[in-house]
Amino acid sequence: MVDLALSDEEKEIRAWVRTFVTKEIIPLEPEALARERRGERGVPPEEMKRLQDLARSSGFFGIQTPVDHGGMGLGAVLTALIEIELGRSFIQFKFGGDADNILYDANEAQQEAYLLPTIEGTRKSCFAITEPGAGSDARAIRTSARREGDEWVINGEKTFITGGTEADFVMVFAVTDKAKGADGGVTCFLVDRDRGWTSAQIDTMGEWGPASLVFKDVRVPHDHILGEEGLGFALAMRWIGRGRYLLPARALGACERLVEMAMEQARNRVTFGEPIAERQAIQWMIADSAVEIEALRWLVLAAAWQVDHGIDSRQSQSMAKLYGGVKANEIVDRVLQIHGGMGYTRELPVERWYRELRLLRIYEGTDEIQRRTIARNLLKGHSSVRGHLG
């Protein structure tokens, strides 16, 4: 049976993060909103670095990074609980000391040049597989790499790449043998920015600032292949599925705080002689949100528990991702409605969350892709409606 009882140490870790968010991150929100209204980054990089250094001084560095690489090596359930606490602010803070999971496939020389500096924070990476014509259908990528002696020449364009404007190297996926298709003809390359690829930020309705990347005759040495030639697609799928449960976990934290704000507003807002908290319509909004928050909590933690126990969690993660995205958007809409006109203004963070949470239904697998995955697994007998214990 699923056992989610936390040890005293785990409770202490969660409590520390909760305090850190309350004392250090949430107080930054008013200024972050003001900066965004001026067209600036909500939290400047130097402030984010200060927070990361402060957390590191208390031992919070590399949440899931293995201990032998200097991290905490925490499991999936505890990581999810930490993400829930971080989600209580719209400021996209993350602890330092992490690196993309597929970078651990790097050889010794590549680890020295890319993995270890990324963990330490002296280098920044980005993951580039999405293209203008290959979003959810990752197998349709057209970026190509042809070999010339000991070098590969890469040509193509990537889009909606997280961290693309800040990264100094990219893990880019390109077709190296069209005849073999995705399962044997796609390769991942580690390409430094000074090799010649360029980036341009894409403006979005939220703080997320992805980039488009252009590769025009970019040359990279053969020994910069990550993993094995032709086997890049498997790496890409492993990166994409590395922790899908963490996205709805952060949304869960947002929903908790948003509903708390809504209840406070409902108690204090008086119309026709009594608080709107006495209105049945408001009570139902709060009740429905509470039920959905609790359901999402168990979807997220069940998926994380499966990860910790080596159980195939792809179905559970897709369910958590789908439900979390849909319900987070419904909940923030209710919260805005409870706040009325003030919720629609930029005086409060509600509209900021309204824009931010909309991304969850697109980012790292759209709702439609999650439904497709869930249905196929059920129809093909890979999963059961009785769950993993069925």
pLDDT at residue 138 in the model: 62
CA distances to 204, 281, 369 from 333, rounded to whole Å, are 19, 14, 23
When pLDDT is averaged across residues 13-18 and rounded to a whole number, the result is: 95
- Domains of the chain, by residue range, sit at 8-100, 123-239, 242-379
Question: At residue 4, does pLDDT exceed 80?
Answer: no
Question: At residue 287, does pLDDT exceed 60?
Answer: yes
CA–CA separation, 349 vs 12, rounded Å? 29
pLDDT at residue 160 in the model: 92
- For the record, the structure tokens of 20 come out as 């850190």
pLDDT at residue 369 in the model: 92
Global pTM value: 0.91
- For the record, the structure tokens of 220 come out as 């990279």
- For the record, the structure tokens of 182 come out as 């995705």
- Name residue 212's beta-bridge partners: 200
Question: At residue 390, does pLDDT exceed 60?
Answer: no
- For the record, the structure tokens of 322 come out as 């789908």
Q: Which residues are catalytic?
A: 364
Mean pLDDT is lowest, of 13-17, 40-44, 358-362, 366-370, for: 40-44
Which backbone phi and psi does 287 adopt, to 5 degrees?
A: -65, -50
CA–CA separation, 106 vs 223, rounded Å? 11
DSSP state of 114: I
CATH of 123-239, one of 1.10.10.10, 2.40.110.10, 3.90.980.10, 3.40.50.150: 2.40.110.10
Nearest CA among 158, 242, 233, 139 for reference residue 198: 158
Residues 6 or more apart in contact with residue 49 via CB below 8 angstroms: 121
pLDDT at residue 183 in the model: 84
Question: At residue 109, does pLDDT exceed 90?
Answer: yes
Question: At residue 312, does pLDDT exceed 80?
Answer: yes
Instruction: Grade residue 137 by pLDDT with cuts at 50, 70 and 90.
Output: low
pLDDT at residue 176 in the model: 94
pLDDT digits (tens, 9 = 90+) for 270-284: 999 999 999 999 999
Instruction: Grade residue 286 by pLDDT with cuts at 50, 70 and 90.
Output: very high
CATH superfamily of 242-379: Butyryl-CoA Dehydrogenase, subunit A, domain 3 (1.20.140.10)
When pLDDT is averaged across residues 23-49 and rounded to a whole number, the result is: 89
Fold of the 8-100 domain = Butyryl-Coa Dehydrogenase, subunit A; domain 1 (1.10.540)
Mean pLDDT is lowest, of 13-22, 39-48, 149-158, 261-270, for: 39-48
Question: At residue 1, does pLDDT exceed 60?
Answer: no
pLDDT at residue 42 in the model: 78
Instruction: Grade residue 136 by pLDDT with cuts at 50, 70 and 90.
Output: low
